[in-house]
Structure 1
Amino acid sequence: MPRSLQSIRRGWILLPLGRRPAPLRALPLLQQPRNDGKPQRPPVSKTRDDSEQERSKFARSILEGSTVALISLFGLGLGGYAYSLFYKRTVRNKIENAFATGYSSQERVALGRISYGTDPDKIQEIVEREYWVPRAEQDEVNDIVSGKTRGRYHLIIGERGTGKRALLLEAMRKVNGDGIAMLEAHNDLEVFRTRLGKSIDYEFHEDYIGGLFSIRGPRDSTPLLDIERALNQLEKVALKMRKRRGKPLLMIINNIHLFKDDEAGKHLLEILQQRAEIWAGNELVTTVFTSDEYWTLERLTPHATNMYVMNIRDVRKVMVTSALKKYRARYHNEDVSQTILDEVFAKVGGRLIFLNQVAKSKDMFDTCKQINRREKSWFLNNCWILGDSMDDDVEEQQKYCAAAIILARALVLREDNSSSQPQFTLPEIPLHEARQIITRADFVHPFDHINVLHIDAHGMVRADSVPMQNAFREIVQEEGFEEHLKATLNRLDELESLARTREVAYREVPDRSGGIVPVQTYCAKI
């Protein structure tokens, strides 16, 4: 091999003499020797088969990733669906447990020591001490609570303290709370929503796990919608339990007069009444409302088909005197004469709330005096008239008070004119006649609201209780009462006349001599 080629193979180029040779990189066209001594070929471009293999690998990876994602999503959806079924079943089971035999926390509070941790012998003693006055309506209420009376819902109406709740609690005790849910009404819809949920053990989806993901849940709504959802769940449970129990469930809502007499209260009563009508017609749930005021009956009557109204009155004199005599003999070792019993009844009547205070006190007459004094003070503080010296700022308030005094006088006069009736019967006036007496139609219901007068289920107006009628009688029979009432009415007429009178004053044009004509004033009633 020539020397020049050998130099090139070694990486050197021959330069002229006197210069230092520079290293020569391998030319791109020349191949470096391999380890095995064979020449290395230049890189060759990818073939069509290689490109197809790479594309198939890419498609396979996409398919595998998509499959994994779909399986994950399917598993997540299946888990969510299973949790939803589990949650719904748990909700229904909790509502079923709320109607099981026994008492909820609200029912325990209402029943007191009867519902928990007391020996049977002591329970009987407590019952005898608390429910010592026999009631004629107890058998009818027992049939409602036990499920014998079906196909209708009930409105139990009566004065404050007549024992409406006591009748229901005694009936609940006899069936040990089986199939019963009870709650108290309230004028705030949010509070009533909470009490309804507590009575049937329904959480309104507040414990739903979907809330962890910031998803807008069923709770984000108005109280009326929440109440409707709770009633829907109760209806599903009632359908399921109807086949097993063979009788309807019972829901008791006490004191529905506490609902506001406005649009919200009207809508709530409509929802409850619609459900009560449907449930009563299909014997799913028997709904029982209790109320102290007449306006609830007026609100429910126009749309009532299956409603039954039960009017609870004071206990009759024969039952009261007999039960009071036995109670004093058993727990106070006192033999009370019939004369004393008649006098006690004349002072407090057959109102249970007053009889319990009198029967358990040491001095019955002193307790009767305190009750009568308290009722009279309540009436005077709310409805007393101010006479002819009243200011014009109290005109509307005094119209309200004068109407109450006029109705009280009418009841006292009706009592004097009804000599044929027994003395322990409270005089009554029809509602339309009472409105005619006071010449106002909007004042009678407020008197019922403050427990001065009462309107019963038959539309009869009377004093709220025997002590209140005694207060009416004492006030009307006081010396100078008629003159004071007349002076008040005259002053109200004067103020009303002044409100309708307008003064018009004008001045005539002065004459040429410079004189001025005096001002002339004319008054006219508009």
Structure 2
Amino acid sequence: MSNLAVIPRTLRHCRSSPLVTARPGAVLAARRFPQLQQQNRWLASNTGAVTGGGSDYQLGPANTVQPQPGTQVVGAINDSGRGGSGSGGGDGGGSSGSSGSSGSSGSGGNGGNGGSGGQKHKGHDWSGTAWKVFEAAATTGMSLGVLGLAGYGYHRYYKSIVLQKIDNAFNLGHDPALSMATACADKDDEQPWIVLPQQKKINRIIGGDPRGRYYLLVGEKGTGKTSMLLAAMHKVEGDSCSMMEAHADPEIFRLRLGKALDFEFHEDYIGSLFSIRGPRDTTALLDIERALNKLEKVAINRRKAEGEKSKPLVMIINSMHLLRNDENGRDLLELLQQKAEAWAASQLITMILNSDDYWVYERLKQYGSRMELISVKDLPRSQAIAALKNYRMKYRKEEPPKQDILEQVYDLVGGRLAFLNKVARERDMIAKCKEICQDEKTWLLNKCGLLGMDMDDDVMDQQKFASSAMVLVRHLVEKEKEDAKKAENAGHDHGIHGHKLPELELYKARQVMTRAEFIEEFDHINIFTIDCDSKVRADSVPMMNAFREVVAEEGFDEYLEDTLQRISDIESLGRTREITIKDLWHGGKYNMTVKNHKGQTEKTISWDVTPGDRDAEKSDD
């Protein structure tokens, strides 16, 4: 019998298992047993192979057919009695051969060395699991190690680059302020047209000669403070010095400091890619502290590299008067002074602060043990006329005008370099001088104009400010007349050397104004100025000319007194409370009756009001 399908005996009597007869040469597959389906698929690919053995399948506890692990796979059995060749079973367990239909016994097949009818059950292989765990742990550890090394390397590299950029900002020709100042400058501008008396000292400071100090430049607007600093920086080509402009907003101050030092405040830091957190987000004041700390490290590294003979770095902060006199401005000023004091003590960095207003000096003087003050004032007559000649030849390319015209120009605008520069550019210098004086007068009246007796009570605060200024203006003009009389009686002429503007001590100026808080605001808006000796005077010669013109106007004193009286009346009304009885209005009166203990009326009292004479009261006053 060839091509027969041998059906196990246990499957023949199984009623619950649906069997499907395959084509000749294939086995019967049971749908409910995955093992049988797998063997049927194998048999389908191997035509003629059958499953043998009578004990391959047995009934389970519920009379269901369950496959055994040792199922034999044998070749086809023919009638010739040839023994079937055994093949390896399962996962390595072999089975013995089966006998043919003629009763001849088959010999063991090629795969019969494994077992005698079934596959052995093996335990869990823990060695493979342990190896996989070790492999995963090693991979994770190596990844973390590479990430950590890369992050640490980037962090060290970034810090070194930051210090290198700051150090490069103090090299020759790398200062942004100096580059901007010399971008469009001519070769003729390399030599200054006038040398101020403080220029030599500024040159030595920028050159790094004096050590152990920090400096504050104080002077009115337009006296040439910034020009001196730029000229000194240009002389050394910006070597070991940097300059920045201050600002009232701390955020903008932070950005300008970063520009001067070439410091990005870790805004270009990408350490977060390596799970390294950068500096936390905080206020601008803390960022300024970080930038100054980096600058300090650069100065220390330079000192170590170049030795004790290396000159200190110079940090210039211009326009310090732009800081607000509030909590933020004072905190920033205190931070800068603390750094300047520490750097001056170690001779690492020399800080130079430039200001137009007195309050900066007053604030720094409190804790300035190593601070040195440099006061810059207007030029005297001889130097101002020489500067005017040089300016005239530079801009007009012509011979200087006559001496009397130069003297007249000086009498109108004084020795302020900013005014001399404007006048020298114009063809008619006298007309330009008068225009400058008119501009100063307009500025004075716009800021401190009086409103008189008819002003509204809503503008009382502004009129307090304006009237205080005008009271001080009148006092300075009167003081100038008194000083002129004294000089004339003594036979002195102050006009030979220059203008001698009338001045007053700061505490006396506050007494004249009867207000203490307004004088700093007047200094800030360039009405008055306070020098380093705490003397109050007009901000400039054109402003003093405006004082004279305003006070000389007809009715100025009466108008000022009316304004002061109106302010007093408004304040008096605010402090006074009036109590009236409406029943007594228009001739009304009260009648009161007095009774004794028996209830009998003893007397009647009337209370009325007699209106007074307002005109008579005014005449008595």
Q: Does 1:182 align with 2:230?
A: no
Q: Which moved more, 1:204-213 or 1:497-506?
A: 204-213
* Equivalent AA in structure 1 for residue 201 of structure 2: E
Query: Following the alignment from structure 1 to structure 2, what is the Cα–Cα distance between the partners of residues 159 and 444?
Result: 15
Name the amino acid aligned to 1:162: T
C-alpha spacing 1:268/1:86, structure 2 compared with 1 (3 Å): same
SS in 2 for 1:113: coil
Deviates more, 1:392-401 or 1:435-444: 392-401
Written as runs of structure 1 = structure 2, the 5 A alignment for 1:108-507 is 108-114=179-185, 122-123=186-187, 125-128=188-191, 131-211=192-272, 217-218=278-279, 220-245=281-306, 246-329=310-393, 331-419=396-484, 420=487, 422-423=494-495, 424-506=499-581, 507=583
- Whether the 8 Å contact between 1:96 and 1:237 is mirrored in structure 2 is yes
**Separation in 1, partners of 2:390, 2:342:** 46
Q: Which residue of 1 aligns with 2:166?
A: 95
SS of the residue aligned with 1:321?
A: helix
In the TM superposition, what whole-angstrom CA distance separates every residue of 1:110-166 from its partner, at most 9, and x where no partner exists? Answer: 34424xxxxxxx42x1234xx312211100110111111111111101111111100
CA deviations over 1:149-189 (Å, ceiling 9, x no partner): 11111110111111110000000010000011111111111
Whether contact under 8 Å (1:26, 1:32) holds in the other structure is no
Within 1, Cα distance between the matches of 2:297 and 2:360?
28
How has the CA–CA distance of structure 1 residues 229 and 43 changed in structure 2, closer, same or farther, with 3 Å as cutoff? Answer: farther
Q: Secondary structure at the match of 1:182?
A: strand
Mapped partners of 1:68, 1:212: distance in 2: 20
Change (3 A) 1:216 1:243: closer
Give the AA of the match of 1:370: E
Question: What is the CA deviation profile of residues 85-104 of structure 1, one whole-angstrom value per residue up to 9, with x for unaligned ones?
Answer: 11111111111111111033
Check whether the contact 1:505–1:521 (CA below 8 A) recurs between aligned residues: no
- Partners of 1:241 and 1:208 lie apart in 2 by 25
Change (3 A) 1:101 1:11: closer
Q: Which residue number in structure 1 is paired with residue 490 of structure 2? A: none
Counterpart secondary structure, 2:242: strand
- Are the structure 2 counterparts of residues 77 and 12 from structure 1 closer, same or farther at C-alpha, using a change threshold of 3 Å? closer
3-state SS of paired residue (2:332): helix
Q: Counterparts of 2:354 and 2:449 in 1: how far apart (Å)?
A: 31
In structure 1, the residue matched to 2:54 is 26
Instruction: Tell me: CA distance 1:8–1:159, structure 2 relative to 1, closer, same or farther (3 Å).
Output: closer
* Separation of aligned partners in 1, 2:545 and 2:5: 141
C-alpha distance in 1 between matches for 2:462 and 2:205? 44
For 1:406, the aligned partner's letter is: V
Counterpart CA distance in 1 for 2:504 and 2:340 is: 32
Partner deviation per Cα, 1:473-524 (whole Å, 9 max, x = no partner): 11112222222222222222222222222101134784389x99657999xx
Q: Please, which runs of 5 or more residues in structure 1 have no aligned partner?
A: 1-6, 16-21, 115-121
- Post-superposition Cα deviations, 1:183-232, rounded to whole Å, max 9, x if no partner, equal 11111111111111111000111111124578753252111111111111
For residues 478 and 496 of structure 1, the distance between their equivalents in structure 2, rounded to whole angstroms, comes to: 28
The amino acid that maps onto 1:378 is W
Mark the CA change 1:41 to 1:439 in structure 2 (over 3 Å): closer, same or farther.
Answer: same
Question: 4+ residue runs of structure 1 moved beyond 4 angstroms?
Answer: 7-13, 22-25, 29-34, 44-47, 211-216, 507-510, 515-522
Residue 57, structure 1, aligned to residue 120, structure 2: no
What is the one-letter code of the residue matched to 1:396?
D
Contact 1:454 1:461 in 2 (8 A): yes
2:141 is matched with which residue? 70
Provide the residue aligned with 1:117 in structure 2: none
CA contact (8 A) 2:208 2:312 kept: yes
CA separation in 2, counterparts of 1:109 and 1:11? Answer: 103
**Mapped contact 2:151–2:271 kept (Cα < 8 A):** no
Instruction: Write out per-residue CA displacement over residues 64-111 of structure 1, whole angstroms, 9 at most, x where no aligned residue.
Output: 221221112111101110111111111111111111110333332234
Percent identity among equivalent residues?
45
Once the two structures are TM-superposed, the CA of residue 403 in structure 1 deviates from its matched residue by: 0.9
Higher helix share: 1
In structure 2, how many angstroms separate the alpha carbons of the residues matched to 1:516 and 1:42?
142
What is the Cα deviation at residue 311 of structure 1?
A: 0.9
Contact 1:382 1:401 in 2 (8 A): yes
What does residue 85 of structure 1 align with? 156
Q: Which amino acid aligns with 1:413?
A: E
From 591, 600, 610, the counterpart of 1:511 = 591
Query: Could you tell me how far apart the structure 2 residues matched to 1:469 and 1:10 are?
Result: 130
Cα distance, 1:261 vs structure 2: 1.2
> How many residues matched?
495
Shift of 1:297: 1.1
Q: Is the 8 A contact 2:175 2:241 kept in 1?
A: no
Q: 2:55 corresponds to which letter in structure 1?
A: L
Contact kept? 1:505, 1:519, Cα under 8 Å: no
Counterpart CA distance in 2 for 1:297 and 1:387 is 36
Once residues 314 and 291 of structure 2 are traced to their aligned partners in structure 1, the CA distance between those partners, rounded to angstroms, is 15
SS at match of 1:503: coil
Contact 1:154/1:309 (8 A) holds in 2: yes
Q: What is the one-letter code of the residue matched to 1:382?
A: K
Q: Which amino acid in the other structure matches residue 308 of structure 1?
A: E
Unmatched runs of 5 consecutive residues or more in structure 2: 13-20, 22-27, 29-51, 59-70, 75-84, 87-96, 98-107, 488-492, 594-604, 613-621
Contact 2:449 2:466 in 1 (8 A): yes
SS in 2 for 1:409: helix
User: What is the match of residue 41 of structure 1?
Assistant: 116
Give the conservation status (yes or no) of the 8 Å contact 1:504–1:521: no
